[in-house]
């Protein structure tokens, strides 16, 4: 959960718990019961909101993985920082990109933590059975359909192939 989502969750939980304490105060006319209820209801509402937002984020990332014909990952480790980029390519010429930056073992934060996702498009290169993203620098993925080999190259680096669905890949290249 990102920082702005936490602030929004805190504000919603505070508003709901304040309204609940006002209702209790006006119905029962006891200040102490409203104050105690406000504290406990804030904790309960905040935990529920955290759970709902976390589940929404998990389901969103899982939905982007489903239906992908190929998934590739680049992991760069430095002494303190870890940078991970994941691309999920779909047969409809779109991709979903996940970027995760964090410190190794999350003991120190010299590089700052960052996590976000983005969508984009890719084009097909027919002469060599490859696809090229609109990302800068572009990610180019070469497909060898005979030996069922995927070779992703980004900025002169060869990336790791997470998954490849050869039925979808073959259907994609047979479409045109």
86 vs 9: CA distance, rounded Å: 28
155 is written with which tokens? 């900025």
Task: Say if CB 13 and CB 45 are below 8 A apart.
Answer: yes
Q: Percent helix, strand, coil in the chain (nearest 5)?
A: 45, 35, 20
Res. 8: pLDDT tops 60: yes
The position carrying tokens 């200040």 is 31
> Which of 65, 80, 106 is the last residue before a domain boundary?
65
Same domain, residue pair 59 and 89: no
pLDDT per residue over 120-132, tens digit each? 889 888 778 899 9
Are residue 34 and residue 111 in the same domain, yes or no?
A: no
The model's pLDDT over 11-64, given as tens digits with 9 standing for 90+, comes to 787 888 888 777 877 887 777 777 777 788 888 888 887 777 777 766 555 566
Tell me which of 65, 91, 110 is where a domain ends. Answer: 65
Tokens 């609109």 correspond to what residue? 134
**Same domain membership, residue 135 and residue 86:** yes
Out of 7-11, 74-78, 85-89, 114-118, the most confident range is 85-89
- Considering the domain architecture, whether residues 19 and 92 belong to the same structural domain is answered as no
Given 45, 65, 85, the domain boundary residue is 65
Same domain, yes or no: 96 and 111: yes
52 and 87 housed in the same domain: no
Domain that holds residue 156: 70-174
Q: Between vectors from CA 4 to CA 3 and to CA 8, what angle results, nearest 5°?
A: 120
Say yes or no: 78 and 162 in one domain.
yes
Is residue 114 a contact partner of residue 100, using CB atoms and an 8 Å limit?
yes
Tell me how many domains the chain contains.
Answer: 2
Give percent of the chain with pLDDT exceeding 70: 83
* Max avg pLDDT among 29-33, 96-100, 146-150: 146-150
């Amino acid at each position: 959960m990102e920082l702005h989502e936490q602030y929004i969750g805190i504000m919603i939980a505070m508003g709901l718990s304040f309204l609940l304490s006002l209702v209790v105060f006006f119905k029962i006319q006891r200040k102490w019961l409203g104050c105690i209820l406000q504290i406990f209801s804030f904790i309960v509402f905040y935990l529920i909101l955290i759970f709902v937002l976390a589940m929404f984020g998990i389901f969103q990332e899982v939905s982007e993985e489903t239906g992908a014909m190929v998934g590739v990952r680049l992991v760069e480790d430095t002494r303190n920082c870890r940078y991970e980029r994941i691309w999920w390519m779909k047969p409809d010429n779109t991709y979903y990109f996940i970027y995760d930056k964090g410190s190794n073992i999350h003991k120190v934060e010299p590089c700052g933590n960052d996590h976000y996702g983005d969508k984009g498009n890719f084009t097909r290169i027919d002469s060599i059975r490859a696809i090229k993203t609109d990302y800068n620098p572009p990610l180019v993925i070469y497909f060898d359909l005979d030996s069922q080999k995927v070779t992703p190259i980004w900025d002169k680096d060869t990336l790791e192939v997470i998954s490849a669905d050869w039925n979808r890949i073959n259907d994609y290249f047979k479409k045109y």
